[in-house]
Amino acid sequence: MRTIALGSLLLTTVLFSAPALADNSTMLNLSASAQRELANDEVNASLYVQDRQAQPALLADRLNKALARAKAESGSFRQVEVSSGSYNSWPDYGRDGKIQGWQGRAEIRLKSRDFTATAELVARLQKFMLLENVQFSVADSTRRQAEDRLIPEAIAALQAQAAAAGKALGRPNQQVLELSIGNVQAPPPMPMLRTKAMMADAAAPEVATPDWQAGNSLVHLSVSGRIELR
């Protein structure tokens, strides 16, 4: 009888039932892994506008208008997912400790698997917003497919370890009693660009479309288990 317990999309645990250990058996606790390098196929970018005004209402109006303009500019780029980012304002104190103005910062975030469309949208938005960073990574769906293909490789590596141990101990027969399969925590997305904080210039000239090099990421899958040698 075999029981399968499913975890999250990126973590699956499989438990195999087995009879009680024989007196002449040896128990092994082993782990193995498999990995594959994949081309990054997803881009995440964030842009922001920062301003300073004498009154908080004026500041909020400026920031909100910039966000509305960004949303309007993004409307024709349906391949790019646009979402709101952080939105903060704070008082600007003078040397006398009194409030002499207000500063604020509003952010939008872009996510897409279409690098060309995202680059074009970023160039448009940079006319009145600042680009904070661009990061490339492997999309979740691509990563899951790669992990599924790595499962047989990782299990084969685990069984090879057990076979080597069994040969050394004179116990060539092996039985998997318990097996756990899971992905290793993915590394953070590869950063492409980061800019220093500064005020956005609404009168900025046309910005050239960036030529991005997305690079690669490593997908890593691990297995661990209890194996009986007889």
Segments of the chain with pLDDT less than 70? 1-23, 184-205
Which of 121, 102, 101 has its CA nearest to residue 111?
A: 121
46 and 160, same domain (yes or no): no
pLDDT at 51: 96
Backbone Cα Rg of the chain: 27
50-87 burial, b if ≥16 CB within 10 A, otherwise e?
bbebeebeebbebbeebbebbeebbeebeebebeeeee
- Residue 122 host element (H or E): helix 115-125
Q: Which residues pair with 53 in a beta bridge?
A: 102
The position carrying tokens 């009693």 is: 177
Which of 82, 84, 90 has its CA nearest to residue 60?
A: 90
125 and 202, same domain (yes or no): yes
145 and 134, same domain (yes or no): no
From residue 30, give the alpha-carbon distance in Å to each of 12, 16, 72, 161, 224.
Answer: 17, 15, 55, 8, 6
CB 80 within 8 A of CB 54: no
88 and 174, same domain (yes or no): no
C-alpha to C-alpha distance for 13 and 29, rounded to whole angstroms: 16
pTM listed for this prediction: 0.74
11 and 47, same domain (yes or no): no
Would you say the C-alpha torsion 48, 49, 51, 55 has a positive or negative sign? negative
Which of 181, 175, 225 has its CA nearest to residue 19?
A: 175
C-alpha to C-alpha distance for 94 and 99, rounded to whole angstroms: 6
89 and 174, same domain (yes or no): no
165 and 225, same domain (yes or no): yes
56 and 118, same domain (yes or no): yes
> What totals of helices (H) and strands (E) does the chain contain, helices first?
3, 10
- Residue 161 host element (H or E): helix 140-169
pLDDT at 198: 42
pLDDT at 204: 54
Longest C-alpha distance within the chain, in Å?
A: 84
C-alpha to C-alpha distance for 111 and 82, rounded to whole angstroms: 7
Residue 116 CB partners (closer than 8 Å, separation 6+) = none
pLDDT at 31: 94
52 and 93, same domain (yes or no): yes
50 and 118, same domain (yes or no): yes
The number of domains in the chain is: 2
CATH of the domain at 55: 3.30.70
50 and 109, same domain (yes or no): yes
Amino acid at 148: D
Structural domain boundaries enclosing 174? 2-39+140-185+220-229
63 and 147, same domain (yes or no): no
pLDDT at 15: 37
C-alpha to C-alpha distance for 89 and 129, rounded to whole angstroms: 17
pLDDT at 190: 52
